[in-house]
Amino acid sequence: MVNMFGVRSLVFGVARDFLKGDAFRRRVCGFVLTLCLIASTNVYAQMPVLDVAGVPTIVRNSTANMHAQGDSLWVGSFLSLTTDGGNTWQIANTDSLFDTRNSVFSIDIEGDVMWVGLGFTSTAADGGGGEASAGGFLVSTDGGQSFNYRFPQLDGSEENTVMYGANVLEALPVIVPQQSPPFDIDYNPVTGEVWMAGWASGIRRSADGGANWERVVLPPDTTDRIHPDSTYSFVIEPRRGELGWFNYLGFGVLVDETQTVWAGTVAGVNRSTPDDVTPSGERAWSRFGFDGTTNALTGNWVISIEEQPLPVRNAIWMATWDGSDGRGPRQRFGVTVTRDGGETFEQVLVDERVFDFAFLDEKVFVAGESGLFISEDGGRSWTTVRDFFDPLQPDRIVPLDVEVLSVATTANGDLWAGTTDGVFKSTDEGNTWSIFRVEVPPNPENPTESIPDAEVFAYPNPFSPFIDRFTRIRYELEESRNVTIQIFDYGMNLIRELSEPSLSAGVRESIWDGTDSSGLRVANGTYFYLVDTGRRSFRGKILVIE
């Protein structure tokens, strides 16, 4: 099970329709926009996987989804696959993803069964921004050799009630894909059920391979436990302004080794054990959240839930974010782990904003905004990796503030980190790295439409300063030179100058972060650049799209 993380200006519909009002909703909105960004692709031309001069590459540098199965690694947001440690890459054969507006929001693989949650960014009705939306699902039963499409987890317009025990509960039908992207998905090979977390559509379950999706009834915000044998009258409705419940905004879901189901929302983590299942198959639920003590969640917003395989009982790790509403004690970002099925909780990495987890026996790897965190003793002590250095390719620049969005370990012991600046692989548990990026060389031997015959090249291009953070300008030097790069706006006004002293011969790259000489982010539009080596000059253009 792998969550999708990373959107700001592209999904303001989430804020407009669901999270209007107080400061907490505005903060929630900001987080949701950040979480959706990496998977949003409608502002980019879709790019093929390239194999340039024997150097394997990925489809997109910002990598928020990865899932390891054996020695294989699947990478979003277009289902790239490597089975040999990154030496070669393949793309999944599915027409429901490529040449469409869809991208990968979540992945889960169990044996030969693979589920992929698709989403897209739709255009807002008022033309101002867009909305993260449900794009359906891909399912494979042959290890990714072929896929079938399933429709999104939406209600019919007349589905305005839900049965829970003897209760007929009023429910708000979720009938449009907007604001219901599949943030997380988990396939249970024991029962064949599929569980998913779909933001406004909440937590849902399918027992028939995705043909139908059952709306899961969780406790409303006003109570910590519900049971189908009790009587209730609450409305099943995601939070919208002052209406509805934060516990019906679903972000993460996991079925663990004991067949306990964990559902993460904006209001905490919900647990249903096998003992909570009634003879009729309905479930009781208990909700756990922040209470100001160290034996609780650091914050109510549970954005990721992963299981650490251990000899006795697996540990459950959660990325728990600050969901403070201004009416109680301030919550905190961090990680919450339970080693006993939810009887007790521990807090680690407090005040760190984290996204994803991976494990290798007792070792724990945590992807976070501040880097990659590694613990060799089950989370009791930590080291932090912020310097991702590739000794075989020292010219590949990795900023020290790169964010690690996803992490995975393959069966052969390789450690993979998906970042805002490419996919990195370590064979020595984080000491050194191999860097994989979407890269195009100057003066290619076999130019194509995707790999033009040019002496200078900028990538990504188009370039979003918020999503990509920077664009790289690549060029080749025949000898050691001082290099100056000037960037001009459409009116040919000089807006930024970059100096690169004493660069050695070879293919080199310089970085522009999309700001002018005053440090202000530039407006959308076309920009021109001039690379001056003192003896030669190269010209090109960059399209900035936010």
Domain map (residue ranges) of the chain: 456-544
3-class secondary-structure state, position 23: helix
* β-strands 225-226, 285-288 pairing: antiparallel
pTM for the structure as a whole: 0.82
Nearest CA to 487 out of 456, 528, 459 is that of: 528
Phi–psi pair at 12, nearest 5 degrees: -65, -15
Cα pseudo-dihedral 166, 171, 174, 180, rounded to 10: -80
Q: Which helix (H) or strand (E) holds 24?
A: helix 23-37
Going by C-beta distance under 8 Å and a sequence separation of 6 or more, which residues neighbour residue 377?
362
Phi–psi pair at 109, nearest 5 degrees: -135, 130
Phi–psi pair at 497, nearest 5 degrees: -130, 130
Question: What is the pLDDT tens value at each position of the chain, 546 positions in all?
Answer: 544 433 322 333 333 334 434 444 444 544 454 445 444 433 333 333 333 333 356 777 788 899 999 999 999 878 889 999 998 888 887 877 876 788 899 999 999 999 999 998 775 444 344 688 999 999 999 999 999 999 999 999 999 999 999 999 999 999 999 999 999 999 999 999 999 999 999 999 999 999 999 999 999 999 999 999 999 999 999 998 889 999 999 999 999 999 999 999 999 999 999 999 999 999 999 999 999 999 999 999 999 999 999 998 999 999 999 988 766 788 999 999 999 999 999 999 999 999 999 999 899 999 999 999 999 999 999 999 998 888 887 666 676 678 999 999 999 999 999 998 889 999 998 989 998 887 655 554 554 444 444 567 787 778 888 777 788 888 888 888 889 999 999 999 999 999 888 788 877 888 899 999 999 999 999 999 999 988 888 888 898 986
What is the rounded distance in angstroms from the CA atom of residue 130 to the CA atom of residue 251? Answer: 19
Geometric angle at alpha carbon 418, from 186 and 471, rounded to 5°: 135
Helices (H) and strands (E) in the chain, counts: 3, 40
The CATH topology of domain 456-544 is: Immunoglobulin-like (2.60.40)
Torsion-angle region of residue 115: left (phi > 0), alpha (psi -120 to 50) or beta?
Answer: beta
